[in-house]
Structure 1
């Protein structure tokens, strides 16, 4: 039988309290990154295919994080944890590569220059997301 875990009442859902704001921000980024990638891919894909595909990937990561945070529970927490981790790695790697090898990124992605085009929110967001998930882990 699975071990019973107790969840603190105030921490019952990842999407409650401040988590609602986090959920809203992830939702906005899911929509904006996905829409941006769709427009870029359908209108001028040949100009910067790597950048546009990375924007589409970022959109999928933001969608998964939004779903995980909204869903809550063990599976939602796991989805959000994996998504935020991928997001953090992505923004750090793509942010660094877009500075070191600017030729490979003739057009920006969501994560280019550590999200400078979005006010560096893409750099801060995974740290906040991971902190929120960690803060709301089940207490045994």
Structure 2
């Protein structure tokens, strides 16, 4: 890729930077969570689904949300941006709701989900990640025409 002059870098659409720099790290983290949450849910559902069906289905849902966020961030452009925005918003609402429910009433969640206790099993990354994702998407919104 040819080097850009400072003037070209300034005129480059901000959306092009969505998958660069910190965006690549964010994409990597979302990809890891997509893989880990989906794999965990698959194992839980296929091996002992009857023990905690709600928790395992929520883990599967979280995996799908992480997959969608990863695809949206990787794709970029208006459609990818919208996919990432919706996914990160659902992720934020999910981790807050499930985190609150698991703290208040852990009986309904005999086994942990990715979002249980606000993602404590994953170092609280599931709680922090949607804030960073939404901030990144907002920071790299296209300039008004």
Q: TM bucket by the smaller chain?
A: over 0.9
Give the alignment partner of residue 64 of structure 2, picking from 46, 49, 60.
60
Helix, strand or coil at the partner of 1:14:
helix
Q: What is the 5 A alignment of 1:1-140?
A: 9=12, 11=14, 12-140=16-144
CA contact (8 A) 2:98 2:117 kept: yes
RMSD, aligned CA = 1.2
Whole-angstrom CA distance in 1 between matches of 2:52 and 2:17:
40
| RCO higher in structure (CA 8 A, sep ≥6) | 1
Q: Residue by residue, what CA displacement relative to the aligned partner does 1:71-120 show, whole Å, maximum 9, x if unpaired?
A: 00000000000000000000000000001110000000000000000000
Quote the Cα distance in structure 2 between the aligned partners of 1:81 and 1:136.
12
Q: How many residues align?
A: 134
Normalising to structure 1: TM-score of the pair? 0.93
Change (3 A) 1:109 1:117: same
Tell me how far 1:13 sits from its aligned partner: 3.6
Larger Rg: 2
Unpaired stretches in structure 2, ≥5 consecutive residues: 1-9
- Any stretches of 5+ residues in structure 1 without a counterpart? 1-6
What is the CA distance between 1:17 and its match in structure 2? 1.1
Corresponding residue SS for 2:18: coil
- After TM superposition, the runs of 4+ consecutive aligned structure 1 residues lying more than 6 A away are none
C-alpha distance after superposition, 1:19-53 (max 9, x if no partner): 00000000000000000000000000000000000
TM-score by length of 2: 0.90
